[in-house]
């Protein structure tokens, strides 16, 4: 028996004519969008319907997460994507507010790339092992290049564009030191996934102190690799990426704080 479904709507598929013909079976199309996009689309629909008018404040992140039955990380990513779409404005320390131009913005303009926290989790897992391989397989020229990258990052600490380029090259150089061309392509692909959501996180929460901490992290990673200590290299990379995720999460936590709005949150839950 063949089943068919159409995205976004429930369909009924008739069974073949037989002596024991059964009633049609209702099917709900499988949702292929990433979770944070589903959350963002649902909030966008409530904004479009007037449930959250221009200038109003959205419920706190913790309320949204509890009502929707999802993690706070997924809600964070959804809110950031809504800001990219210009549906909401994140005011650090105040809350998340619906913009005056929200009615003219389509929800399908939400960023379609992977969520930044998913990306950081993937990088932590993969690049930790790559750093360990670099410690085992790297050559002196690789170690020298990593040390030079740390110095360059310190020189350009206040130049965001230059710092991003140096940061990327540092991680790609570690993959090169691992002596595995496939892993180089994997790291490059991970960095190419840093879409608008990542840029928005950087814009809001990446301070000079975080940039200085990145330099210290890179120095620790480079030192462990040059010492051919695979375990220390893996740990240093894990610590670095986990710190970035933790700082971004803390930033969104602060931005997402707002007084309880239980009635409206229940409306979101009811439409879920």
Q: Is the pTM of this model over 0.85?
A: no
CB neighbours (10 Å) of residue 223?
17
What pLDDT sits at residue 237?
Answer: 98
Predicted pLDDT at 262: 44
Q: Are 79 and 252 in contact (CB under 8 A)?
A: yes
Q: What is the mean pLDDT of residues 4-26?
A: 45
Query: Per-residue confidence at 11, pLDDT binned at 50, 70, 90?
Result: very low
62 φ/ψ angles, rounded to the nearest 5 degrees: -65, -35
Q: Please report the pLDDT score of residue 213 as a whole number.
A: 93
The pLDDT value recorded for residue 251 is: 60
Residue with tokens 């992290």: 217
Q: How far apart are CA 162 and CA 152, in angstroms?
A: 9
Select from 109, 83, 72, 74 the least CA-distant residue to 197.
83
Q: Which residues pair with 106 in a beta bridge?
A: none
Report the pLDDT averaged over residues 151-171: 92
Give dist(CA 60, CA 98) in Å, integer: 13
Q: Can you tell me the mean pLDDT for 123-137?
A: 97
Give 91's pLDDT tier (boundaries 50, 70, 90): confident
The first and second tokens of residue 126, run together, are 């993969």
pLDDT of residue 230: 98
Q: Is the pLDDT of residue 21 over 60?
A: no
Query: Is residue 53 a contact partner of residue 98, using CB atoms and an 8 Å limit?
Result: yes
């Amino acid at each position: 028996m063949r089943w068919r479904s159409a995205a976004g709507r429930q369909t009924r598929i008739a069974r073949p004519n037989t002596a024991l013909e059964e009633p049609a079976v209702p099917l709900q199309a499988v949702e292929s969008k990433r979770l944070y996009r589903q959350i963002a689309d649902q909030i966008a629909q409530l904004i479009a319907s007037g449930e959250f008018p221009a200038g109003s404040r959205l419920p706190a992140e913790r309320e949204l997460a509890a009502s929707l039955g999802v993690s706070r990380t997924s809600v964070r990513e959804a809110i950031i994507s809504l800001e990219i779409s210009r549906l909401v404005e994140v005011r650090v320390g105040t809350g998340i507010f619906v913009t005056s131009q929200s009615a003219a913005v389509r929800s399908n303009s939400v960023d379609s790339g992977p969520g930044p926290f998913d990306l950081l989790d993937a990088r932590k897992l993969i690049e930790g092992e790559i750093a360990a391989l670099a410690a085992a397989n790297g050559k002196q020229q690789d170690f020298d290049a990593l040390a030079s990258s740390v110095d360059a990052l310190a020189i350009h600490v206040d130049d965001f564009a230059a710092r991003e380029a140096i940061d990327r090259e540092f991680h790609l150089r570690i993959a090169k030191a691992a002596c595995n061309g496939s892993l180089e392509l994997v790291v490059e692909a991970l960095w190419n996934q840093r879409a608008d959501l990542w840029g928005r996180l950087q814009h809001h929460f990446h301070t000079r102190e975080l940039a200085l901490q990145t330099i210290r992290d890179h120095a620790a990673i480079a030192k462990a690799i040059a010492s051919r200590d695979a375990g220390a290299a893996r740990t240093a990379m894990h610590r670095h990426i986990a710190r970035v995720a933790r700082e971004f999460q803390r930033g969104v936590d602060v931005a997402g704080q707002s007084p309880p709005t239980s009635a409206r949150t229940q409306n979101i839950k009811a439409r879920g």
